[in-house]
Structure formats: structure tokens, C-alpha cells
Structure 1
């Protein structure tokens, strides 16, 4: 009598059903993480580099480093 009260467990295709759910969930979580990284880290970093190199003068920077004695082969004048 007590066995009639409990529902029978699903024995077939249980792994496939659960795997489908978890694969879709993992896909959406990974796409969300990729979007967060792109718009939260990569794009601000690109903008910061573009802003830095907009007014960057490598020869002026070289002269400052040469005057400070950073380079051994280029002596200050």
C-alpha cells in the first residue's frame, strides 16, 4: 500500500534532460561573462590607450629618459 503512494522515479533520459538544462544555463552564463568583460574591461582599456597615445610624443619621452640616465648606450648631452 505504501508503494502506491510514492511516484515512480524517472529512470530513462534523466541525464539527457538535466544535461540540456545545464548546457543552456552554462551557455548563457558564459555569454554574459564575455559581455561583461568586453564592456567592463576591454572597451575602457581601449579608450584609455587611445587617449594616452593621442598626445604621446615618443621622442620627448626618450629625451626625458635619456636625461634621467635610464639608457646606458645613450648618454645625456
Structure 2
């Protein structure tokens, strides 16, 4: 009884024809999931934050708190 030789010729091409479309489809699913699961909510959060953000008011609050060394509070 002898062992059957493995089919080595064309093995890479045969495996690629099977695995390459699967890898491509999974990468598209991962990219779409990241886009709609991470980046879109992040963009919405930034848009909501800057919709109500007042930079001058925030600066005055930080100035009054004494965060800046070069800007005196308005009371001094």
C-alpha cells in the first residue's frame, strides 16, 4: 500500500480562487461596518458639538478660571 502523492501543481491558484473572493467580501463588510459604526457617529457628534459651541464664551470661562497665564481675568 503506497500513499497518494499530494496535488501540488496549481495548488496556490486553486486556493486563491476560493479564498480571494471571501477575503475581498469580508474586507468590504469590515470597511462598511467601520464607516457606519464609527466614523458617521463621530461626525454627527462633532457636528452637534460645534452647532452649539460658542468659542468666545468658552474663552471667557477659561480666562476667569485662571487657565491662561498671559491673559488677566477681567476683574483685575
Same fold (TM over 0.5): yes
Q: How does 1:1-77 map to 2 (within 5 A)?
A: 9-77=6-74
Flag as ranges the 4+ runs of structure 1 deviating above 2 A: 6-12
- Quote the offset at 1:41 in angstroms: 0.4
Select the structure that is richer in helix. Answer: 1
Q: Any stretches of 5+ residues in structure 2 without a counterpart?
A: none
What's the CA shift for 1:29?
1.1
Q: Which runs of 5+ in 1 are unaligned?
A: none
Deviation at 1:20, TM superposition (A): 2.2
- Distance between the aligned counterparts of 1:63 and 1:11, measured in 2? 74
* RMSD of aligned residue pairs (Cα, Å): 1.7
- Give the number of aligned pairs: 74
TM-score, normalization by structure 1: 0.83
